[in-house]
Amino acid sequence: MPEATFEEMIDAMKDAVSVLQSRDIPFVLGGGLAGWARGGPRSEHDVDLLIREQDAEEALGAFEQAGMRTERPPEGWLVKAWHPNGTLVDLIYSPAGGPVTDESIERAPMVEVMALRLRVSSLEDLMTTKLLALSEQEPTFSGVLELARSLREQVDWNEVRARTESSPFARSFFTLIEGLGVIDPAS
């Protein structure tokens, strides 16, 4: 199936938000759409919703009742649902920065996204997760560089640097964005 268009992703996001809200399952909009909602580039991949692990089974049941195909992949950090328009909705409970908790949900600010008021990942959480997800198998800086360029004034880079200092990929990324003049060097 071809990748969903941006408009299809927005429709899927709205429907997914409705499914979770109908069950009072707390969640946060994450991933590329969280960056886009705060002024970043359009996301072209999928809808990422962050939920607590203890809510994953109830969320899957709700998506199944809403007519969406679901999957429990072996990775152990997310479950998946497919919107009828083909958009993938990832329900992530343990992103690279650590498990989704009540505290991480509460720290996500309420933002209006396409006429919906919902919690959207803080930019520091978003950048931390994206940087910690970089690995030898997925070492590409392009997506996170695009986010950094478009959102640079809104991010507390000292916090992101401190939270990602254990990652050689994150350290390399900071060298890159400092060298490109995206952010000032750490003092």
State the helix-helix crossing angle for 157-164 and 168-179, rounded to 10 degrees: 150
Range of the domain at 94: 1-121
Which of 104, 121, 138 is a domain's end point?
Answer: 121
Query: In terms of domains, do 166 and 135 share one?
Result: yes
pLDDT of the residue at 150: 96
User: pTM for the full model?
Assistant: 0.93
Query: In terms of domains, do 5 and 84 share one?
Result: yes
Longest dimension (CA), the chain: 53
Query: In terms of domains, do 183 and 93 share one?
Result: no
Query: In terms of domains, do 111 and 154 share one?
Result: no
Which of 121, 137, 156 is a domain's end point?
Answer: 121
Which of 97, 121, 145 is a domain's end point?
Answer: 121
Distance in angstroms (rounded) separating the CA atoms of residues 181 and 80:
38
Query: In terms of domains, do 143 and 116 share one?
Result: no
**One pLDDT digit (tens) per residue for the chain, 187 residues:** 567 899 999 999 999 999 999 999 999 999 999 999 999 999 878 999 999 999 999 999 999 999 999 999 999 999 999 999 999 999 999 999 899 999 999 999 999 999 999 999 999 999 999 999 999 998 899 999 999 999 999 999 999 999 999 999 999 999 999 999 999 998 7
Contact at 8 Å (CB) between 162 and 174?
no
pLDDT of the residue at 44: 77
Contact at 8 Å (CB) between 4 and 87?
yes
Looking at the DSSP bridge assignments, the partners of residue 80 are: 71, 90
Contact at 8 Å (CB) between 63 and 81?
yes
In sequence order, what E strands does the chain have?
A: 28-30, 47-50, 69-71, 78-82, 88-92, 110-113, 116-119
pLDDT of the residue at 45: 83
Distance in angstroms (rounded) separating the CA atoms of residues 27 and 91:
9
Count of structural domains, the chain:
2
Query: In terms of domains, do 88 and 21 share one?
Result: yes
